[in-house]
Amino acid sequence: MHLEGPFISPLRLGAHPKLNLEPRGEAFQRVMALEHLKLVTLAPELPGAVDAIARLTARGVVVSIGHTNATFAEAAAGIAAGARMFTHLFNAMRPLNHRDPGVIAAALTSEIALPAVIPDGVHVAPEILRLIYMTRGGGRMILTTDKVSLAATAPDPSRKVDAARLADGTLAGAIISMLDGMRLMIGKTRASIGEVAMMAAANPATLMAHGERGRLQPGAVSDIIVLSEALELKAVFLAGHELN
């Protein structure tokens, strides 16, 4: 379970409802009691957040910084307490400014916390994807689709849909597949297929302490996709068995 909220900034809700809470007291205890909790996105500047990050980390839950208005110092404090990821970098975050570097600068410069980015060309412009890649390299960033289903929509060939949005135009999620995201990263950033495979599989697996996943090596889980040189999908293997 990835819990994105309710411990997020009221200033950076994105498409979330106004149900944001502080990560302490009864609300935090209820979250800590969630049996299948593996990942929490929260804003490190909220009262009680640094202690909450430390307690979640001690329980084995990965903490990601996101939906946040944090300064650089507040983000750094979150990382020092145990946060190890940034949720959909640049989106629902305090903007990057040359005199107020903020949370985005922390994500681009941290040695231990990895930024996750949505490579659909909408949530983050291709030029910014290239900036992130040039700053971080394939070994220190993560790809995430942030994919959602589009509710109450019928196919309409005349209408181009590039992302999920609320009625007011606020981005509410992506519609890209991970494979299409990989293709876009390769096409726009000139990253190698090996680097992009690290971003999409090996790096998140390592972050979540699943060392048996995301790698082509003896003993690893054999969930594999086979691509042509043109990045066309040729085969899918699940637990070593090819799917029809």
Candidates 100, 120, 146, 180; catalytic one: 146
User: Is the preceding peptide bond at 155 cis, omega within 30 degrees of 0?
Assistant: no
- Angstrom CA distances, 76 to 35, 41, 105, 128, 242, stand at 28, 15, 10, 22, 44
DSSP letters along 57-115, please?
A: HHTT-EEEE-SB---HHHHHHHHHHT--EESSTTTTBPPP-SS--HHHHHHHH-SS-EE
Tell me how many helices (H) and strands (E) the chain has.
8, 11
Q: Could you confirm whether 51 is annotated as catalytic? A: no
Contacts of 106 (CB under 8 A, 6+ apart): 65, 70, 72, 75, 76, 79, 86, 113
- The residues annotated as belonging to the active site are 146
